[in-house]
Amino acid sequence: RSLSGSDERQLNKQHYCQFFSNQSKMPCLRLILFFGLMIAVPLTMDAAVYTCNIQLLDGVVQKVCRKLQCPVNCSNGICNMQLQSCMCNKGYEFIGGSCVPTCEPSCGESQICTAPNVCDCAEGYALLNSKCEPFCRTPCDDTQYCAAPNTCACLAGYNNATTGGCEPICMNDCGEHGRCKAPNLCECDEDYSVQGQSGCAPICDAELCANADCIEPYQCICHEGYKLNFDTNKCKPLTESEDDAETQNILHLIDVRSGRD
């Protein structure tokens, strides 16, 4: 008669038991207990847990084991399944759910610890003169420097210009005939020059414009109490015989280039 499923399994069990008993001279009951322990007790290998079972493959009884997955990120370490934790390798510390390298002494500013006692520049920084300096993919211009990764800032003596970029700062006003070319350096129009803190002033001959004020390039006006001497083309003091009321309010302009008023 044909065997039922349960009868076939029982017959196979007896066959396996008899086979291993003949090979190992071990009673069948002890064999069953031995294999039961192998199946029931997980094997511990390298602090990781394996689950195993006995299978008949191609007529050969084999033990097949499967490694259980670690519940945490255990790169740079060994997973301890029984403790549900990670044992980090030497030079690593379990921080934030993974084993991260440690550096002694600590890495400096703009650096990160990439391996035990190895510091590298952080992202956006490059090694320059033995220091990690910020890196700007678009080069900064001559009035700027790379203050942070891909961020340019104005150099000392410069301010952000309304039109973009940086413009120099001059502590003294350059005046309407000048402009601030560099920090505290005025550039004047033609026939004008920087004179003290007054910015760009017109250029006049100092000798010819003695006792006079330079009001335009190479043009002077005599001070009060002086009048123009046409012979010398200079301002001379008024004499007692001259009518002060008539002359002191007259503006004498001297064009030192032509010699005419």
pLDDT, tens digit, 9 for 90 and up, residues 66-123: 777 777 788 899 888 777 788 899 999 998 888 999 999 999 889 999 999 999 999 9
CB 221 within 8 Å of CB 213: yes
Domain assignments of the chain as residue spans, ordered by start: 5-67, 170-201, 206-255
Secondary structure, 3-state, 113-127? EEECCEEEECCCEEE
Q: What's the predicted TM-score (pTM) here?
A: 0.51
Residues 51 and 41 sit within 8 Å (Cβ to Cβ):
no
Q: For residue 197, what is the DSSP state?
A: G
Mean pLDDT score of the chain: 78
Confidence band, pLDDT 50/70/90 cuts, at residue 234:
confident
d(CA 50, CA 69): 9
